[in-house]
Amino acid sequence: MNVAGRLPPFLRLLWLLGLLLALTIALAPLLWAIRNSLMTLEDTYKPLFIPFLQFMPTLETWSFELLEQSELSTALGRSLVVAFCHLLVVIPIGTLAGFALGRFRYRRPDNFNITLWFLSQRFLPPAVVIIPYLLMMRAACGPIALPFGLWLPQPLQLVCVLEGDRNLLNTLSAITLAHVTFNLPFVILIMRSIFAELPREIEEAAKVDGASDLQIFRKIALPLAVPGLVAATLITFAFSWNEFLFALILSGPDSQTLPLLIGSGEGVRSLDFPSVSVRALVAILPPVVLAVLTQQWIVRGLTLGAVKG
């Protein structure tokens, strides 16, 4: 859209400068981190920027942090397990509820009130529930811990370190459960807006032919919603990857995930520019890549389905 015709030359130059400035600021920290991660420590202090011409890029720090030292790769693996396992739970539950809210008509409470009820959880500061979460996870084998164990997906039970007292603290399961909880309203609202937009004619035809709601959901609505579902999955994955507060309170030495390792600043001197850069990039880059992959859905995702983007 060309808002008001062509710009006069002076404004055009200004516009170009503004755009370049914005791009520079948006990319500078990332590029600077990448530059540092490819350098030796002494080189980082020198005003060198162009690889191969000014300095020889080296993957030394990357291989040291990721291959020789185990703590970064261990934390990375844990973050992946948590994010993946939380998806296994949150996506099915959230998609079912999203389909219901987008397709059925409820009364008392009506669709909007149910939607708002789920939405309101996004507004709840997580700091309010961290203490109960800690105590709940610590309640060994009580009426609370028992259903947790039954709910856990199989791979998770293998990874989580259940000590003798079957306490969920210091296990990846605890973090996974928390991540499911705070991402659930997000998935519901997104999937609701995606299902509500699908054409209804096919579903109605299927209904006339006697298909049940579950059949309509599985065989008709879900296949049509796959692109949106993939986007919601990737964005949720990124949220889980980025989450810090629950990981902070629920994890211990055996379940330290990536944000925690990074946030605590353990194991690296803060003036070791290349190492800090590599660690920061390992945390930052995966969700950034996901953001690019899902960008056509991102506005809808971030506004919880309110804006189509």
The residues in 63-122 that bind another protein, with binding defined as CB under 8 A, are: 92-94, 96-97, 99-107, 111-112, 114-119, 121-122
144-183 residues in contact with another protein (CB under 8 A) are 147, 177-178, 180-181
Q: What gap in Å lies between CA 165 and CA 142, rounded to an integer?
A: 11
227-246 residues in contact with another protein (CB under 8 A) are 238, 241-242, 244-245
DSSP letters for 246-279: HHHHH--TTS--HHHHHHHTTTS-TT-HHHHHHH
Contact between 55 and another protein by CB under 8 A: the answer reads no
Angle 130-138/172-197 helices, nearest 10 degrees? Answer: 120
Contact between 62 and another protein by CB under 8 A: the answer reads no
190-229 residues in contact with another protein (CB under 8 A) are 192-193, 196-197, 200, 203-204, 207-208, 212-214, 217
Q: How far is CA 209 from CA 205, 215, 220, in A?
A: 6, 11, 13
Query: Which one, 135 or 161, has the nearer CB to another protein?
Result: 135
Contact between 309 and another protein by CB under 8 A: the answer reads yes
276-295 residues in contact with another protein (CB under 8 A) are 276-277, 279-284, 287-288, 290-292, 295
DSSP SS3 for 211? coil
Query: Which one, 159 or 294, has the nearer CB to another protein?
Result: 294
Note whether 142 and 166 are within 8 A (CB).
no
**Over the Cα atoms of the chain, what is R_g?**
24
> Measured from the CB of residue 227, what is the shortest distance to another protein in angstroms?
16
